[in-house]
Structure 1
Amino acid sequence: MQVESGTATPARGTVAALADQVRAAAPRLGGTRLVCVDGPAGSGKTTFAGRLAAALGAPVLHMDDVYAGWTLTGGFARLAAGVLRPLREGRAGAVHRFDWDAGRFAEVVPVPAGPALVVEGCGSAPRDVDPYAVLRVWVEAPAPVRMARGIARDGEALRGEWVRWQQQEAAEFARQDTRARADLLVDGTAGWGEHGYVVLPGTD
């Protein structure tokens, strides 16, 4: 971190350089370099993951597609069985996408066994992923900001679901020590533009 005139200047990174770092890493999931972008709902994970995946030329798998609605329970287990295990064996994976409007799992989403895969969403980087991920990213923002983003997206009628989700994810992050285990901490409120991001203190 740079310090000027007694004021700490946040460190910044570029998505292109981070993509180069991922490419330089040896794959740990068969021939695939797995990147997990975790953090609380509404923190900016989807935006960050999408930009990194674009720089890598890699697909993005959203945990929203593997949750069974407003619950983390079973989400990572479905990811592990449908995607991580096949990729580890050099085979393509697949998951059934959850249709939030219909309240049930719907079509199959294929996941190719390519050079890289970005998985984003709450609970995408538990301890069980450590042997396979080349990069674990944590994106965070203050709870009021995250709630405001969620309500703007989903509507006031779902505020109760958002409150329960924040409680659920907080318990999971504490149990998995997710933030402390991350390789990169990203500020989800900073203006990172199209190509950059702000690194939070605590990143090695």
Structure 2
Amino acid sequence: MKAEYAPLLPLLCELDGRLAQGRRTTLAIDGPCGSGKTTLAALLTQLYDCPVFHADDFFLRPEQRTPERFAQPGGNLDRERLREEVLLPLHEEKPVCYRRFDCHSLTLQPPVTVAPAMLSIVEGSYCLHPELSPLHDVSVCLSVSPELQRARILARNGREMAQRFFDRWIPLEQAYFDAMKPQERCGFIISSD
């Protein structure tokens, strides 16, 4: 076994057990930015050859970006669209037809259709919001130290964009984690430190 898989062993055993029983499974991966959600999803995709749906494709559209919406813990995600376009079809074992949000044009892209799979992954901050959690079968919350988070965000995004994370996005995420406590409701907690 590769050393990188060792902390994942309980999760892998859970997924393998469910799949061996022929149970379709939706896995949700939540955690702060820079905690390794996308990296974990990519690793699991290599192991299970499964589709991944990214919460980043469900950013709020311009007309949704109101002070009232941002005041809601977890309000920075178009969770209504994620629920309707991805999670409900997965739960009903139907094809998923969803539209990715393009952050550059601030528009929804043409629909993408994904066939039902035995394992599907939904990854991203806010995906364990209580309005979405009933539609997940297995859930993981990642953790990361503030120091490592900061270093990863700087390396990934550069100084100018990283400052937006530090000033805007991380405080919104922290409000969500404080209010909704996904780390207390998930099936697995994995530290990326």
Q: Give yes or no for the alignment of 1:158 onto 2:158.
A: no
Deviations, residues 160-203 of structure 1 (Å, cap 9, x unaligned): 320210100111122221001111111112xxxxxxxxxxxxxx
User: 1:173 maps to what in 2?
Assistant: 177
Q: What is the DSSP-based 3-state SS (H/G/I as helix, E as strand, rest coil) of the residue aligned with 2:56?
A: helix
The match for 1:186 is: 190
Residue 79 of structure 1 and its aligned partner are, at CA, apart by: 0.7
SS of structure 2 residue aligned to 1:126? coil
1:79 counterpart letter in structure 2: L
1:98 Cα deviation from its structure 2 partner: 1.7
Structure 1 residues 26 and 174: CA distance shift in structure 2, 3 A: farther
| Counterpart for residue 17 of structure 1 | 13
1:54-65 equivalences in 2 (<5 Å): 54-65=46-57
Residue by residue over 1:24-48, the C-alpha shift from the partner in whole angstroms, topping out at 9 and shown as x without a partner, is 5674xxxx31100000000011111
Q: Tell me the amino acid that sits aligned with residue 92 of structure 1.
A: P
CA–CA separation in structure 1 for the residues paired with 2:8 and 2:156 = 28
Please list every run of at least 4 consecutive aligned residues from structure 1 whose deviation after the TM superposition is greater than 4 angstroms.
24-27, 69-72
Contact 1:147 1:162 in 2 (8 A): no
Quick one: structure 1 residues 12 and 74, their matched pair in 2 at CA, closer, same or farther if it must change by over 3 Å? closer
More strand by share: 1
Please list every run of 5 or more consecutive structure 1 residues that lacks an aligned counterpart in the other structure: 1-10, 190-204
By how many angstroms is 1:16 displaced?
A: 4.6
CA distance, structure 2, for counterparts of residue 53 and residue 174 of structure 1: 30
Alignment of 1:46-125 (within 5 A): 46-68=38-60, 72-125=75-128
Q: 2:131 aligns with which of 115, 128, 131?
A: 128
Is 1:142 aligned to 2:142, yes or no? no
Q: Aligned residue pairs: how many? A: 175
RMSD: 2.4
Output the CA distance in 1 between the equivalents of 2:20 and 2:153.
Answer: 35
Q: TM-score, normalised by structure 1?
A: 0.75
C-alpha distance in structure 1 between counterparts of 2:40 and 2:77, whole Å: 25
The structure-2 alpha-carbon separation of the partners of 1:26 and 1:76, relative to structure 1 and needing over 3 Å to count, comes to farther
The structure-2 alpha-carbon separation of the partners of 1:25 and 1:42, relative to structure 1 and needing over 3 Å to count, comes to farther
Q: TM-score, normalised by structure 2?
A: 0.79
Q: Is the 8 A contact 1:44 1:139 kept in 2?
A: yes
Structure 2 regions of 5+ residues with no counterpart?
1-5
- Over the matched positions of the two proteins, sequence identity in percent amounts to 27
Q: CA deviation at 1:54?
A: 2.6
Contact 1:45/1:120, CA 8 A, preserved across alignment: yes
